[in-house]
Amino acid sequence: MGQVKLIVSNWKMNLDSKQATRLITNLKKLKKIHPNFKNIICPQFMLIPLVSRLINQNQIILGSQDCHYINEGAYTGDTSIKLLKENNCKYVIIGHSERRHNHKETDSIVRKKVEHVLLNKLKPIVCVGESLKQRKSNKYKYILKKQLNNCIPTNQNHIVIAYEPIWSIGSGLVPTLNEINEIYSLTKLFLRNNKKIKDFYFLYGGSVNSENFKKILDNTDVDGALIGGASLNFKEIKKILTKS
Ligand code: PGA
């Protein structure tokens, strides 16, 4: 989409208060964050108030890993966007494959959440991606278009799409640069022709580390990365954020 790159840490269900405090304290001391990078951190819900208090919002931007699509009510175990806003969250990851798999989140639930997040003027980071079986049977393009069609509303510029092939998450396997660019082009064409969206952020996610990150950022059209495991390791995330 342009110069600004989004470096999104997905902490998943990791870190306790002490560990999160230590990581944020170290991140705040980082001097040479690349000037075009936005450092976005998505902790688990219980850590959000703590992280919100610790960060300087010019330096670190807060996001969450999910939210409900209804404002409030009898939804045991869910979290409302109102509380995310109260705690300064600006981004919400929606439709991560772990939520689709573990919590049976369908495309239609993802779509409701995306619309709810947009209505509340936060930015959704919408995850899409194919399984290994779908990739091998050459169905991945069809699957991705279907996910984009079902999950993304029309006429919404500046939406964030995170392409996360399921086979790549936590596996150490990363698609080739050409494969990432193929999905970028498919997404661009599909969103322009079917959703009237011209400007969007395109992130890659799945086994990103400091080494492959540089190659991916310098040789593909991505606007940043969604990073799980490596985002918990200060040395790794430091190298990523300073592009060193
Ligand atoms: P990973 O996770 O970087 O540990 O593969 C990425 C993600 O699931 O968002």
- The CA 229 to ligand 1 mean position distance, Å, reads 6
Residue 226 phi, psi dihedral angles, 5° rounding? -110, 115
In a 10 Å sphere around its CB, with 0-12 CB exposed, 13-18 middle and 19+ buried, how is residue 57 labelled?
exposed
Catalytic positions are 96, 164
226 beta partners: 8, 205
**Domain boundary assignment for the chain:** 5-242
pLDDT for 194-236, tens place per residue? Answer: 999 999 999 999 999 999 999 999 999 999 999 999 999 999 9
pLDDT for 83-134, tens place per residue? Answer: 999 999 999 999 999 999 999 999 999 999 999 999 999 999 999 999 999 9
Tell me, using a 6 A CB cutoff, whether residue 63 lines ligand 1.
no
What is the C-alpha to C-alpha distance for residues 170 and 206, in angstroms, rounded to an integer? Answer: 6
Closest CA to ligand 1's atom 6: 228
What is the C-alpha to C-alpha distance for residues 21 and 53, in angstroms, rounded to an integer? Answer: 10
Question: Which residue from 159, 166, 113, 120 is spatially nearest to 143, judged by alpha carbons?
Answer: 166
What ligand 1 atom has the least distance to the C-alpha of 170? 5
Which residue stretches of 87-176 are H helix?
97-102, 107-119, 132-136, 140-151
170 three-class SS: coil
Q: To which CATH superfamily is domain 5-242 assigned? A: Aldolase class I (3.20.20.70)
What is the C-alpha to C-alpha distance for residues 160 and 162, in angstroms, rounded to an integer? Answer: 6
Question: Which residue from 134, 201, 209, 210 is spatially nearest to 173, judged by alpha carbons?
Answer: 209
What ligand 1 atom has the least distance to the C-alpha of 169? 5
Question: Can you give the pTM of this predicted structure?
Answer: 0.97
According to the model, what pLDDT value does residue 2 have? 65
